[in-house]
Amino acid sequence: MSSDSPALASDGLDWARRRGMGALAEKMGIEFTEFSIERSVATMPVEGNTQPVGLLHGGAYVVLGESLGSMAANLHAGPYRLAVGVDINATHTRSATSGIVTGVCTPVHLGRSITVHEIAVTDDQGRRCSTIRITNMITDRPGA
């Protein structure tokens, strides 16, 4: 079995931590707290990820959403396939200025060649700040 795939869906969080989220997500302080095909959760600090006026940068919400959605799509794709983002959009409805934000990623569609995930990002008080939708295309992993 590839080290890039979990033995069971319950091993999703271990798989995600072993695989890593990439340098950008690490620099932004994103941390997985739950990870499965059905639901993935990660947190990100507001501090260090703000615009000049002190609001969480809109692009930071998108990085959190893409990190969750793409990783969830890759877990769904399996060990010999690769999910790559082909579309992402975000609607920001509230501004976070301190604390942490939490992204909860759930699948809208899990197909053989396309996945769609919605990521709801909330602040420390549970208020929705951003809604992100990502579409990933699943292809064969090069060299698999």
Catalytic residue annotation: 66
Identity (one letter) of the amino acid at 120?
A
Q: In this structure, what DSSP letter does residue 141 have? A: P
Identity (one letter) of the amino acid at 139?
T
Kind and range of the H or E element at 114? strand 114-122
| Helix, strand, coil % over all residues of the chain, rounded to 5 | 25, 40, 35
Task: From residue 133, give the alpha-carbon distance in Å to each of 57, 116, 126.
Answer: 17, 7, 19
Residue 102 β-bridge partners: 43, 122
Q: In this structure, what DSSP letter does residue 29 have? A: T
Distance CA 58, CA 49 (A): 9
